[in-house]
Chains A and B, each alone.
Chain A
Amino acid sequence: MPRKMRDIRRPQNMKNTICRIFHYIRDYRIQFIFVLLGILGGALANIIGTSLLKPLINLYIVPWIGSEQPELSGFISLLVKMGTVFLVGVFSTYLFNRLMLNISTGALYKIRTDLFDHMEKLPIQYYDTHTHGELMSRFTNDVDTLREMLSQGLPQLISALISIVGVFIMMLLLSPVLTFLVVLMLVIMLQVIKYIGSRSGRYFQKQQAALGKVNGYIEEMIEGQKVVKVFCRENQVEEEFETLNEALREAASNANTYANVLMPIMGNLSHINYAITAAAGALMVIGGFLDLGTIAAFLQYSRNFGMPITQVSQQFNNILNALAGAERIFNLIDVPEEVDNGYVTLVRCTEENGEIVETQQYTGMWAWKHPHSDGTLTYTRLQGDVRFEDVTFSYDGKKDVLKNISLYAKPGQKIAFVGSTGAGKTTITNLINRFYDVPDGKIRYDGININKIRKDDLRRSLGMVLQDTHLFTGTVKENIRYGNLEATDEEILRAAKLANADGFIRHLPQGYDTVLTADGANLSQGQRQLLAIARAAVANPPVLILDEATSSIDTRTEALIEKGMDTLMEGRTVFVIAHRLSTVRNSDAIMVLENGQIIERGDHDQLLAEKGKYFQLYTGMFELS
Chain B
Amino acid sequence: MYRQIFHCLGAYKKYALLAPVTVIGEVILEVLIPMMMARIINIGISNGDVPYVIKMGAVMIITALLSLCFGALSGRFAAVAATGLSKGLRKKLFHQVQDFSFSNIDKFSTASLITRLTTDVTNTQNAFQMVIRMLVRAPIMLVLATFMAVRINASLAGIFLVAVPVLAVSLGLIISLAFPRFTKMLKKYDALNADVQENLIAIRVVKAFVREKFENEKFHNSADLLRAAQKKAEKIIIFNMPIMQFVMYGCMIAVCWFGGMQIISGHMETGDLMSFFSYLTQILMSLMMVAMICVMLVLSKASITRILEIFDESPDIQNPSASAVMENGSIVFENVNFSYGNDPQNLTLQNISLTIHSGETVGIIGGTGSAKTTLVQLIPRLYDVLQGRVLVGGHDVREYDLKSLRDQVAMVLQKNVLFSGSIRSNLKWGNENASEQEISAACQAAQAENFILSFPDGYDTDLGQGGVNVSGGQKQRLCIARALLKKPKIIILDDSTSAVDTATDSKIRAAFREELAGTTTIIIAQRISSICDADKIIVLNEGKIDAIGTHEELLKNNAIYREVYESQQKGVA
Q: Are B245 and A89 in touch, CB under 8 angstroms?
A: yes
User: Does chain A have a CB within 8 A of B177?
Assistant: no
Query: Which A residues touch B321, using CB under 8 A?
Result: none
Q: Which positions 353-390 of chain A face chain B at CB distance < 8 Å?
A: none
Q: Are B264 and A470 in touch, CB under 8 angstroms?
A: no
Query: Could you tell me the distance in whole angstroms from the C-beta of A568 to the nearest C-beta in chain B?
Result: 16
Interface 0/1 of A434-467, CB less than 8 Å to B: 0100000000000000000001100110101010
Interface 0/1 of A128-143, CB less than 8 Å to B: 0000100110011000
Give Cα distance in the complex from A218 to B114, angstroms.
7
Query: Could you tell me the distance in whole angstroms from the C-beta of A265 to the nearest C-beta in chain B?
Result: 6
Query: Which A residues touch B410, using CB under 8 A?
Result: 230
Q: Are A124 and B204 in touch, CB under 8 angstroms?
A: yes
Q: Are A222 and B114 in touch, CB under 8 angstroms?
A: yes
Which of B201, B207, B215, B563 is within 8 Å of A435, CB to CB? Answer: B207
Give Cα distance in the complex from A618 to B572, angstroms.
9
B-binding segment of A310-318, A320-328, A549-557:
A549-557
Query: Could you tell me the distance in whole angstroms from the C-beta of A206 to the nearest C-beta in chain B?
Result: 13
Q: Are B118 and A218 in touch, CB under 8 angstroms?
A: yes
Q: Are A260 and B133 in touch, CB under 8 angstroms?
A: yes
Q: Are A466 and B204 in touch, CB under 8 angstroms?
A: yes
Q: Are A120 and B199 in touch, CB under 8 angstroms?
A: yes
Q: Are A286 and B48 in touch, CB under 8 angstroms?
A: yes
Query: Which A residues touch B407, using CB under 8 A?
Result: 232
Query: Which B residues touch A262, using CB under 8 A?
Result: 75
Query: Which A residues touch B198, using CB under 8 A?
Result: 470, 472-473, 519
Interface 0/1 of A579-591, CB less than 8 Å to B: 1111001100000
Give Cα distance in the complex from A462 to B202, angstroms.
17
Query: Which B residues touch A227, using CB under 8 A?
Result: 413, 416-417, 429
Q: Which positions 51-70 of chain A face chain B at CB distance < 8 Å?
A: 53, 56-57, 60-62, 64-67, 70
Give Cα distance in the complex from A621 to B529, angstroms.
5
Known contacts A57-B270, A557-B367; A67/B264 CB under 8 A: yes
Query: Which B residues touch A525, using CB under 8 A?
Result: 368
Q: Are B263 and A61 in touch, CB under 8 angstroms?
A: yes
Which of B45, B61, B380, B571 is within 8 Å of A275, CB to CB? Answer: B61
Q: Which positions 454-509 of chain A face chain B at CB distance < 8 Å?
A: 455-456, 459-460, 462, 464, 466, 470-473, 482-483, 485
Query: Which A residues touch B105, using CB under 8 A?
Result: 225-226
Which of B122, B274, B474 is within 8 Å of A299, CB to CB? Answer: B274
Chain B's interface: helix, strand, loop or mixed, by majority?
Answer: helix
Query: Which A residues touch B74, using CB under 8 A?
Result: 260, 264
Which of A226, A230, A282 is within 8 Å of B45, CB to CB? Answer: A282
Known contacts A127-B203, A422-B471; A220/B420 CB under 8 A: yes
Q: Are B67 and A271 in touch, CB under 8 angstroms?
A: yes
Q: Which positions 404-444 of chain B face chain A at CB distance < 8 Å?
A: 406-407, 410-411, 413, 415-417, 419-420, 429-430, 432
User: Does chain A have a CB within 8 A of B493?
Assistant: no
B-binding segment of A11-19, A24-32, A236-244, A409-417:
A236-244
Which of A42, A119, A296, A421 is within 8 Å of B273, CB to CB? Answer: A296
Which of B119, B193, B214 is within 8 Å of A136, CB to CB? Answer: B193
Give Cα distance in the complex from A267 to B208, angstroms.
60
A-binding segment of B235-243, B339-347, B391-399:
B235-243
Query: Which B residues touch A527, using CB under 8 A?
Result: 368
Q: Are A222 and B110 in touch, CB under 8 angstroms?
A: yes
Q: Are A249 and B53 in touch, CB under 8 angstroms?
A: no
Give Cα distance in the complex from A113 to B223, angstroms.
7
Give Cα distance in the complex from A139 to B416, angstroms.
30
Query: Could you tell me the distance in whole angstroms from the C-beta of A100 to the nearest C-beta in chain B?
Result: 8
Known contacts A121-B212, A526-B368; A617/B502 CB under 8 A: yes
User: Does chain A have a CB within 8 A of B165?
Assistant: no
Known contacts A218-B114, A220-B466, A226-B413; A86/B249 CB under 8 A: yes
Give Cα distance in the complex from A558 to B231, angstroms.
52
Which of B214, B532, B568 is within 8 Å of A624, CB to CB? Answer: B532
Q: Are B65 and A268 in touch, CB under 8 angstroms?
A: yes
Give Cα distance in the complex from A262 to B72, angstroms.
8
Query: Which A residues touch B41, using CB under 8 A?
Result: 278, 282, 292, 295
Which of B65, B70, B270 is within 8 Å of A292, CB to CB? Answer: B270
User: Does chain A have a CB within 8 A of B86?
Assistant: yes
User: Does chain B have a CB within 8 A of A573?
Assistant: no
Q: Are A420 and B473 in touch, CB under 8 angstroms?
A: yes
Q: Are A261 and B429 in touch, CB under 8 angstroms?
A: no
Which of B94, B215, B256 is within 8 Å of A82, CB to CB? Answer: B256
User: Does chain B have a CB within 8 A of A303?
Assistant: yes
Q: Which residue of B lies closest to A223 (CB)?
A: B110
Q: Are A232 and B402 in touch, CB under 8 angstroms?
A: yes
Q: Which residue of B lies closest to A422 (CB)?
A: B471
Query: Which A residues touch B482, using CB under 8 A?
Result: 231
Q: Which positions 48-98 of chain B face chain A at CB distance < 8 Å?
A: 48-50, 53-54, 56-58, 60-61, 63-65, 67-68, 70-72, 74-76, 78-80, 82-84, 86-87, 90-91, 94-95, 97-98
User: Does chain B have a CB within 8 A of A398?
Assistant: no
Query: Could you tell me the distance in whole angstroms from the C-beta of A307 to the nearest C-beta in chain B?
Result: 10
Query: Could you tell me the distance in whole angstroms from the C-beta of A447 to the nearest C-beta in chain B?
Result: 22
User: Does chain A have a CB within 8 A of B143?
Assistant: no
Q: Which residue of A lies closest to B37 (CB)?
A: A278
User: Does chain B have a CB within 8 A of A616?
Assistant: yes
Query: Which B residues touch A621, using CB under 8 A?
Result: 502, 506, 527-529, 568
User: Does chain B have a CB within 8 A of A622?
Assistant: yes
User: Does chain A have a CB within 8 A of B465?
Assistant: yes
Which of A112, A218, A226 is within 8 Å of B117, CB to CB? Answer: A218
Which of B70, B223, B234, B551 is within 8 Å of A109, CB to CB? Answer: B223
Q: Are A555 and B526 in touch, CB under 8 angstroms?
A: yes
Q: Are B76 and A260 in touch, CB under 8 angstroms?
A: yes
Query: Could you tell me the distance in whole angstroms from the C-beta of A204 to the nearest C-beta in chain B?
Result: 12
Known contacts A61-B264, A252-B83; A238/B98 CB under 8 A: yes
Query: Could you tell me the distance in whole angstroms from the C-beta of B112 to the nearest C-beta in chain A?
Result: 10
Q: Are A222 and B201 in touch, CB under 8 angstroms?
A: no
User: Does chain B have a CB within 8 A of A75?
Assistant: yes
Which of A98, A236, A265, A282 is within 8 Å of B40, CB to CB? Answer: A282
User: Does chain B have a CB within 8 A of A216?
Assistant: yes
User: Does chain B have a CB within 8 A of A191?
Assistant: no
User: Does chain B have a CB within 8 A of A397?
Assistant: no
Query: Which B residues touch A604, using CB under 8 A?
Result: 571
Q: Are A257 and B75 in touch, CB under 8 angstroms?
A: yes
Q: Are B197 and A132 in touch, CB under 8 angstroms?
A: yes
Which of B202, B246, B472, B502 is within 8 Å of A421, CB to CB? Answer: B472
Known contacts A93-B242, A226-B105; A296/B71 CB under 8 A: no
Q: Are B238 and A101 in touch, CB under 8 angstroms?
A: yes
Which of B53, B58, B416, B486 is within 8 Å of A286, CB to CB? Answer: B53
Q: Which residue of A lies closest to B551 (CB)?
A: A625
User: Does chain B have a CB within 8 A of A177?
Assistant: no
Query: Could you tell me the distance in whole angstroms from the C-beta of B410 to the nearest C-beta in chain A?
Result: 8
Query: Could you tell me the distance in whole angstroms from the C-beta of A555 to the nearest C-beta in chain B?
Result: 4
User: Does chain A have a CB within 8 A of B209?
Assistant: yes
Q: Are B239 and A260 in touch, CB under 8 angstroms?
A: no
Q: Are A108 and B215 in touch, CB under 8 angstroms?
A: no
Which of B90, B199, B211, B367 is within 8 Å of A556, CB to CB? Answer: B367
Which of A79, A120, A223, A433 is within 8 Å of B466, CB to CB? Answer: A223
Q: Which residue of A lies closest to B57 (CB)?
A: A279
Query: Which B residues touch A420, using CB under 8 A?
Result: 473, 501
Give Cα distance in the complex from A527 to B368, angstroms.
9
Q: Are B86 and A285 in touch, CB under 8 angstroms?
A: no
Q: Are B563 and A257 in touch, CB under 8 angstroms?
A: no
Which of A135, A230, A300, A462 is within 8 Å of B413, CB to CB? Answer: A230
Residue of A70, A93, A124 with most chain B CB atoms under a 10 A cut-off: A93
Which of B60, B220, B382, B567 is within 8 Å of A279, CB to CB? Answer: B60
- State the 6 A-B residue pairs at the shortest beta-carbon distance, nearest first: A264-B71, A279-B57, A260-B75, A470-B202, A275-B60, A256-B79
Mind listing 11 A-B residue pairs with CB under 8 Å?
Answer: A75-B260, A82-B252, A87-B249, A124-B203, A124-B207, A226-B382, A265-B68, A271-B33, A271-B68, A485-B214, A625-B532
